[in-house]
Amino acid sequence: MAEQRNTRQRRAVKGVLDQLEGFHSAQEIHEFLRDSGEQIGLSTVYRNLVSLADANEVDALRNDEGETLYRRCSSGHHHHHLVCRTCGKTVEVDGPAAEQWAESIASAHGFKNVSHTFEIFGTCEQCQR
Amino acid sequence: MAEQRNTRQRRAVKGVLDQLEGFHSAQEIHEFLRDSGEQIGLSTVYRNLVSLADANEVDALRNDEGETLYRRCSSGHHHHHLVCRTCGKTVEVDGPAAEQWAESIASAHGFKNVSHTFEIFGTCEQCQR
DNA sequence: CTGAATGCAAACCTTTTGCATGCGC
DNA sequence: GCGCATGCAAAAGGTTTGCATTCAG
């Protein structure tokens, strides 16, 4: 489906996602790239992040402030996250129990087309100091 | 903490929240009030919703589009929601299992100050037709 | 009367888009 | 060379804020 050209900018965006540990906003990623001397427009960062997310090459989630955060997706399958509020460090969480719970609740109430948001935010060990 | 004046507008906002079934955006609530003949500014709706949310008198959550949705909180205790994407109808869900799951995951990774977002979105029976 | 709440418009923030230019293929 | 990707600036949404005015207490 996604026939993407291998541009310098796209490579750069993917590169940052490999380097950065956790979830980060598009603006942070843009800033990081600019600081690294990479010349790239903010809209290009957005466009690439959106297309990467569509292609399931990165995870996207929304934080409490309504920003969209992105992170390179290590495993292809569905999972959730434990995210540090301070540094963005992320632990990937597999929650079959939670999945089933959501599914059964939804169908018990006759809901179809169900999606869910399960994200856990906290302060990681390092950032507690 | 919150010493709020009992203005006509604040009463109106609370009134709508009592009437409306599920989660609705500030804009929807504003529109609803205007349609009901109530004269009220959009900013006032926002200000009241924010203060009500701060006072824990209403629930607030963000949908996938990044809008903030509000709903009168029926029970004081912690719970989650099953929300219809189309009509906003909401089912309150009690998920002790999910709570514990989140808690144990977080502490297993040394995270403190944990909060979580568990929301289920779907299409309710009525809106499927 | 006094200061908090309101209303309006303008500001803000993140994200998206239109359009001319540039570059991967 | 063709057409998608880029860059910029401007637009679009949702939400917040500055400031003069209104009104609850």
Q: How confident is the model over B72-104, as pLDDT tens digits?
A: 866 556 678 888 877 777 787 877 777 888 888
Q: What was the pLDDT predicted at B73?
A: 67
* Shortest-distance nucleotide from A45 CA to C1': D6
Q: What was the pLDDT predicted at B126?
A: 79
Strand A112-123 to strand A80-84: parallel, antiparallel, or no bridges (unpaired)? parallel
CB A16, CB A33: distance < 8 Å: yes
CB A13, CB A46: distance < 8 Å: no
Angle at B117 between CA B10 and CA B83, to 5 degrees: 65
Burial class (CB in 10 A: 0-12, 13-18, 19+), A111: buried
Q: Is the CB of A26 under 7 A from strand C?
A: yes
Sheet with A90-93, edge to edge strand ranges: A90-93, A80-84, A112-123, B112-123, B80-84, B90-93
Residues of A in contact with B122 (CB under 8 A): 106, 111-115
* Shortest-distance nucleotide from A42 CA to C1': D7
pLDDT at B34 over 90: yes
Distance CA B53, CA B60 (A): 7
Provide the CA B6 to C1' D25 distance, Å, integer.
10
Cβ-proximal residues to A14 (8 Å cutoff; 6+ apart), any chain = A48, A52, A57, A72
Cβ-proximal residues to B112 (8 Å cutoff; 6+ apart), any chain = A122, A123, A128
Residues of B in contact with A68 (CB under 8 A): 66
Provide the CA A122 to C1' D5 distance, Å, integer.
38
Angle at B128 between CA B123 and CA B129, to 5 degrees: 160
pTM of the model: 0.72
Confidence band (pLDDT; 50, 70, 90) for A48?
A: very high
Q: What was the pLDDT predicted at B119?
A: 80
Q: Is the CB of A27 under 7 A from strand D?
A: no
Residues of B in contact with A106 (CB under 8 A): 82, 120, 122
Provide the CA A128 to C1' D14 distance, Å, integer.
33
Averaged over A63-79, what is the pLDDT? 77
Inter-chain residue contact B120 with A128, CB threshold 8 Å: no
pLDDT at A19 over 80: yes
